[in-house]
Chain A
């Protein structure tokens, strides 16, 4: 039984060329995401990944179809769903003049719960930034902080929207490790990405989206067996990123 079940999801937006017409940003999508798996929505920009994710989260209204999260109907009880999910948005900005600790306490208060900001920040390797302002953080630190914000309610499901876009390889690897360890603690993770390597390394199962539809859905290994062309006879040892990391080291740069 999936913890997330989406049936025939549709979302239409007015066409940018002709306002009388609409186009389907998301077209009849079916998803069943199992408890404790890392599920990836893979696709090029504009494929409908973020729209799909936001419909699952109850942030964008659903035109047709339905979504059940932990057997709660997102359309009927959005507030109940929001209580058990953690969301990292693609773009994150916070109130000015509040430091990380104050922001975490603020977000926790919106769930009517209290947290220890220090241990939460330690979880994402930001314990020494407890009094820093979000704008003083580097890109990788900002992403890790936004994950910390998504964890304040100890969610059952964590949604990550392009968590590693714009990060350097060190920060990216670090974030993958964070996602892995959260997953090992029992958290279901749904993420979007257009990074193939990320999908392959991190996800238990992936769905490939294009033009609002899911065109393939399986484990990365099975998808490779099904669709990938024959590998070259002498396989390459690693890739250029491994070279980059070997030369510059694995330590975080921010």
Chain B
């Protein structure tokens, strides 16, 4: 139990570092707010190694902490709805057994952006935001692809190292 706690703490710290790193990288040249989604590597690893419960919990904790530490509290609604939808979608698509980890990640990346935009639509009541949706979906797909490949590599290394 304490080993698991330490492990999850370590993973949370890793996710926070990745969140921070991502804020340092200017990646939102086309649409404000677009991020690479590197942070998603951690919940994805947890989803495959430890199960949905841990991936979900870690993601919520990570979003709350990251927004408190170096984000802004106003973005929390968007971040949370994106994070929750993304992990749920990844867990479901993993459970179907149809997709590889890359496919699961692509679905998660897309749904993350859909969730964020849905929250923005509800909060701001600005229907014009819907024009961003196709762009955000494609961006989420592309970033999810990269993240999925990376996570597959990480998982393989971890397995080889016997961890």
A and B form one complex: no
Chain A: residues with CB nearer than 8 A to chain B?
none
- Residues of B that sit less than 8 Å from A by CB: none
